[in-house]
Amino acid sequence: MVPRYSRPDMVAIWTPEARFQIWFEIEAHATDALAELGVVPKEAAAAIWEKGAFEVDRIDEIERETKHDVIAFLTNVAEHVGPEARFMHQGMTSSDVLDTCLAVQLAKASDILIADLDALLVVLERRAREHKMTPTIGRSHGIHAEPVTFGLKMAQAHAEFARNRARLVAARADVATCAISGAVGTFANIDPFVEDYVAGKLGLSVEPVSTQVIPRDRHAMFFATLGVIASSIERLATEIRHLQRTEVLEAEEYFSPGQKGSSAMPHKRNPVLTENLTGLARMVRGYVTPALENVALWHERDISHSSVERYIGPDATITLDFALARLTGVMDKLVVYPARMEKNLNKMGGLVHSQRVLLALTQAGVSREDAYRLVQRNAMKVWDSDGALSLLELLKADPEVTLSDAELEDKFDLGYHLKHVDTIFARVFGAA
């Protein structure tokens, strides 16, 4: 975890104090359930809640001797509870505590990330509606293609992040499971009622069949989902970076008063935030492969996954939380230049309308091959002139082009390309 790319609410989930508090609640709830079953005295269960406490430094001190974190935790709690502490952890194994705790932490982290996505979706919808009919050039391979609107670009991003939200909701449900099933998961020394009870108290579902651990395919899917969200962040960040290039300059990150772009060149206004987001996305995706490799544990359990999750649990969620918040800020304050979009759209002498002419010629009886040849022949002249020539005028002067001047002029109507924007917006945002 790097403080520079961290926000306090997400960091708080992963502190030692927060982790040990969840451990304590798991143990205390489990003891309550055992008391209901008559396995332990109810007075002992009550004493754990009343007297139970822990100190992180003391747990660390004990662990230096025991080399076992759960035993160190239980020992420290027992120092506060007294003799009744012997009834804690009855029939349980360490993974019952560790895995259930991780499920709680990932569920809490998911709730923050879902809220982050909700905030981003609000901003993207606002910017989409603001620029719903702002014409701009669509590009394929980075080259001018046909007209779109900037609002459609924002609507596409909104639809993508809405899918990501649905994926994360599903991943949260999948990873939020509780296992209190004892050694190798057979419930030999603890009744399944305890698992049901603890799951209910912690807002988790029960793991249908655990071994000594919750199966790691659940976690792999969770971190893979975070990786997909990170890729969507990079996709939008890359779009902004390209639009901010000097020779394009259709949109740019907000440049605040007093901000400096370069230590050497005072004129610079660089897309530093979206470049940063590209890097952060790489980091989040980097945690996916270790999560996938954690799936294949030996038999009922080994701990090769443990050290991995101590890294990727905090780092992936903290980094993605920061990135989503940063992206929301970028899109909220993004400076958009419609006049520059119009200038760029008209830069290449009407080449963006070539397909309409091609189709009109085929409708007029010209073979597709000949129609393509005629249009391309004139289009290349416009290319070679760097847009100084007009495709429309060249086509009008071409004796092989059988369309009338009026028919040709009709094919250069910008509004034609935008006639279904309302339909697309209704699909993304619902009917007005």
State the catalytic residue, choosing from 210, 232, 262, 299.
262
Token code pair at residue 154: 């924002």
Is 306 designated active site? Answer: no
Is 141 designated active site? Answer: yes
217 and 175 in contact (C-beta within 8 Å)? no
State the catalytic residue, choosing from 29, 110, 131, 141.
141
Catalytic residues: 141, 262
